């Protein structure tokens, strides 16, 4: 990868060690993705905010790094471990370490969004512009739905972009890669958001390319299904974009058998003691959908709804939050179902969710069994 | 038996360790214990194995973008591989994690040679080459 003289100087420490570290990261990912050069990015979204995922090593790194580093482009950040406006049972150490992370990002100049759905909350750059999005669902959504150009960034590569305002010109930032070379042929009827999540999870596992086509079958699906598909695709694979554009090259079939293999892996219990909705965090569209289903009913089990704070505030104004809270649901902001320590093995035997992404991390990282059901079935079964 | 494979240097350096080889991708966030380096994902063929001091040979990382911090945490906890080889493509998570953790990372040019490498071999990463010594 060619660097300008200025970039070379920055790499060699002329502008301080934090900028040098950022260029070191950009150089490694530039080599990995065969980039010719670095290009400017206009927005960065960072993952690596939840203490449950980055641990003490991450806290130490960010605390040290933030002493010098400053973000030079608008930078939003992912959810953390809990809702800072609500009481919880987490340890004082968790609170202390989570606080240090939030402070480090604030010091570097981030927007304190604590959300994995920046595309629903902010006026992002227009279609065609380059951004750098870690958080796999946001990267897939940015590329596939909003026409932005980002690679499937890591926490650290996006951090490097926030510090330098640059990213390698490679992979999904190049037109030819955005042209799908592989197609998933959908050989069964897909009805619910869960069905689309299962399709996404299977596809991520099956495809090593950066962009996959689902053909025109998915061109008219709603926001809930699109988010479910994107999040699951990002969780199981390396793929950072889907397209409805057809391709005549290699085809992989997704039918009943393929669906069953995903369900068998992730659906690890028949029921659970808590319902968790929102991974990705729910937006206004999904809250409205749920509030219509649940109006006048009460959940028979504890129900946690994860959404972005600004979405919650809007839902309070419109009265939707009241309907949801009257059903017994607890609306949690700043956090997300997947990887939240609020859903620990110590507290729960099983979690009922419609999110394939959440099911992956609850099973594999939190060690909690999962019952996968679509939203309509959850309401029918657990609310009266 | 001893032989060398040429690769592309993504993160430079030298490393030595017992080979831990798999054809399955790895999610560094959800598939392992970051304190011990043990692979915990029951659906992974390396389940139960430890990454510590190994030369990890795998196709590419999948899933969470936070996996880069997981690689850094493994190194901080003394549980990381000595060196890493990607055999299909070097993903951004592995590259950035290795860059920060100073773990030598090589991308092998030919996928076809990988199945020959057995887990009982010793691997050495040096100057853009992976040397394999059967022990």
- Counting every residue written for chain A, the total comes to 384
The answer to whether the CB of A283 falls within 8 A of the CB of A120 is: yes
List chain B domain ranges: 2-134
pLDDT at A228: 98
pLDDT at A218: 87
* ipTM value for the complex: 0.94
List b or e across A79-110, with b for residues whose CB sees 16 or more CB atoms inside 10 angstroms: bbbbbbeeebebeeebeebbebbbebbebbbb
CB nearest B96 (choices: A29, A58, A61) = A29
pLDDT at A211: 97
Mean of the per-residue pLDDT values of chain A: 97
Interval A142-159 mean pLDDT: 98
Closest Cα of chain B to A302: distance in Å?
A: 26
Rg (CA), chain A: 21
Question: Domains, chain A, ranges and CATH?
Answer: 5-175 (3.30.499), 179-263 (no CATH), 268-382 (3.30.499.10)
pLDDT at A37: 98
What does the alpha-carbon distance between residue A93 and residue A114 come to, in Å, rounded to a whole number? 20
Annotation says B64 is catalytic: yes
pLDDT above 80 (res B116): no
The answer for residues whose C-beta is within 8 angstroms of residue A16's C-beta and 6 or more apart is A68
The DSSP string of chain B is -EEEEEEEEEE---EEEEEEE-SS-B-TTTSB-TTT-BB--TTSTTTT-B-TT-EEEES-B-S-TTHHHHHHHHHHTT-S-SEEEESS---HHHHHHHHHHT--EEEES-GGGGGG--TTEEEEEETTEEEEEE-
- Architecture per CATH, B2-134: 3-Layer(bba) Sandwich (3.50)
Do B91 and A21 lie within an 8 Å CB cutoff? no
Mean of the per-residue pLDDT values of chain B: 92
Q: Count Cβ–Cβ pairs < 8 Å, chain A vs chain B.
A: 142
Interval A196-224 mean pLDDT: 95
Residues A66-97: pLDDT tens digits?
Answer: 999 999 999 999 999 999 999 999 999 999 99
pLDDT at A219: 83
Residues A35-72: pLDDT tens digits?
Answer: 999 999 999 999 999 999 999 999 999 999 999 999 99
A373 — phi, psi (to 5°)?
Answer: -145, 150
pLDDT grade, residue B112 (50/70/90)?
very low
- Counting every residue written for chain B, the total comes to 135
CB nearest A154 (choices: B9, B65, B73) = B65
Do A134 and B95 lie within an 8 Å CB cutoff? no
């Amino acid at each position: 990868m060619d660097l300008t003289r200025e970039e070379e100087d920055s790499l060699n420490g002329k502008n301080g060690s934090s900028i040098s570290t950022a260029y070191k990261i950009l150089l490694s990912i530039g080599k990995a993705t065969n980039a010719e050069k670095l290009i400017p990015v206009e927005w960065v979204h960072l993952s690596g905010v939840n203490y449950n995922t980055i641990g003490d090593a991450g806290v130490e790194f960010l605390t040290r790094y933030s002493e010098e580093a400053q973000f030079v482009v608008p930078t939003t950040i992912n959810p953390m471990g809990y809702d800072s406006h609500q009481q919880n049972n987490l340890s004082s150490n968790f609170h202390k370490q989570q606080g240090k992370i939030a402070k480090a990002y604030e010091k570097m100049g981030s927007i304190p969004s604590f959300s994995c759905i920046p595309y629903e909350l902010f006026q992002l750059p227009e279609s065609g512009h380059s951004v750098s999005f870690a958080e796999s669902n946001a990267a897939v959504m940015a590329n596939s739905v909003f026409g932005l150009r980002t690679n499937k960034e890591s926490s650290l590569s996006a951090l490097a972009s926030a510090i330098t305002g640059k990213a390698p010109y490679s992979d999904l930032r190049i037109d030819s890669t955005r042209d799908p070379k592989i197609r998933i042929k959908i050989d069964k009827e897909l009805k619910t958001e869960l069905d689309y999540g299962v399709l996404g999870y299977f596809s991520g596992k099956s495809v090593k390319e950066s962009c996959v086509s689902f053909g025109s079958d998915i061109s008219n699906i709603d926001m809930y299904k699109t988010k479910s598909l994107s999040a699951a695709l990002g969780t199981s694979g390396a793929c950072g974009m889907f397209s409805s554009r057809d391709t005549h090259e290699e085809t992989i079939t997704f039918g009943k058998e393929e669906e069953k293999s995903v369900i068998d892996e992730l659906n690890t219990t028949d029921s659970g003691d808590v319902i968790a909705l929102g991974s990705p965090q729910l937006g206004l569209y999904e809250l409205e959908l749920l509030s219509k289903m649940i109006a006048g009913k009460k959940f028979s089990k504890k129900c946690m709804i994860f959404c972005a704070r600004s979405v919650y505030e809007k839902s309070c104004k419109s009265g939707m939050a009241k309907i949801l809270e009257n059903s017994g649901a607890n609306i949690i902001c700043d956090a997300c179902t997947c990887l939240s320590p609020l859903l620990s093995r110590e507290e729960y035997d099983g979690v009922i969710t419609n999110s394939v992404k959440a099911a992956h991390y609850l099973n594999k990282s939190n060690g909690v069994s999962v019952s996968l059901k679509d939203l309509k079935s959850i309401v029918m079964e657990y609310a009266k | 038996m001893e032989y060398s494979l040429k690769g592309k240097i993504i993160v430079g350096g030298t490393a030595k360790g017992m080979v831990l080889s798999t054809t399955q991708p790895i999610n560094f966030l959800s598939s392992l214990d970051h304190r011990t380096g043990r692979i915990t994902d029951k659906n992974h063929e390396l389940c139960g194995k430890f990454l510590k001091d190994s030369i990890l040979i795998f196709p590419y990382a999948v899933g969470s973008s936070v996996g880069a911090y997981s690689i850094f945490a493994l190194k901080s906890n003394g549980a990381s591989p000595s060196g890493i080889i990607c055999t299909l493509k070097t993903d951004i998570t592995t590259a950035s994690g290795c860059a920060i953790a100073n773990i030598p990372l090589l991308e092998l040019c030919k996928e076809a040679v990988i199945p020959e490498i057995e887990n009982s071999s010793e691997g050495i990463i040096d100057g853009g080459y992976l040397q394999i010594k059967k022990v």
